[in-house]
């Protein structure tokens, strides 16, 4: 301790380092608080990074949802068009069948039946054009 006394007046910082009880009160608390604050800053930075990632994910989900809605709308439009084409095809098949029967009736010189079928064809065409 004698060597410490001679440096006491010369350099008070050295004596504090030599004698741990001479540290100012609250130094450990300040050091813990500083460590805590540093840790909190790191956590806040990580939370901000996570928030930005979540925002990016949310934006991506919104874009995907918009694309999905557009695809669904296009799919519905294609279904309607397909149904219309199927209906038109069926109507064409009916007309062709009637025309074929008219031709057969005329070949067989059955003009009465040909006239009936022609009238049926006219009615079918008028009904389909409504």
pLDDT number for residue 36: 87
Averaged pLDDT score across all residues of the chain: 86
> What's the confidence (pLDDT) of residue 13?
55
pLDDT tier at 10, thresholds 50, 70, 90: low
CA 42 to each of CA 54, 55, 56, 80: distance values in angstroms, whole numbers, following the listed order:
18, 20, 21, 57
Task: Give residue-wise pLDDT tens across range 67-85.
Answer: 999 999 999 999 999 999 9
Q: Are 7 and 14 in contact (CB under 8 A)?
A: yes
Q: Does 89 have pLDDT greater than 70?
A: yes
The pTM for the full model equals 0.54
Rounded Cα–Cα distance for residues 115 and 105 (Å): 9
Q: What's the rounded Cα separation, in Å, for the pair 88 and 94?
A: 10
């Amino acid at each position: 301790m004698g060597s410490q006394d001679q440096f006491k007046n010369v350099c008070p910082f050295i004596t504090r380092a030599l004698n741990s009880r001479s540290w100012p009160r609250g130094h450990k608390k300040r050091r813990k608080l500083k460590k805590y604050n540093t840790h909190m800053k790191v956590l806040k930075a990580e939370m901000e990074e996570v928030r930005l990632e979540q925002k990016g994910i949310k934006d991506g989900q919104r874009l995907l949802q918009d694309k999905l809605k557009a695809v669904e709308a296009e799919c519905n439009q294609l279904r309607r068009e397909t149904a219309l084409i199927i209906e038109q095809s069926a109507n064409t098949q009916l007309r062709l069948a009637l025309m074929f029967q008219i031709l057969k009736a005329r070949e067989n010189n059955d003009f009465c039946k040909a006239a009936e079928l022609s009238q049926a064809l006219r009615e079918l065409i008028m009904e389909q054009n409504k």
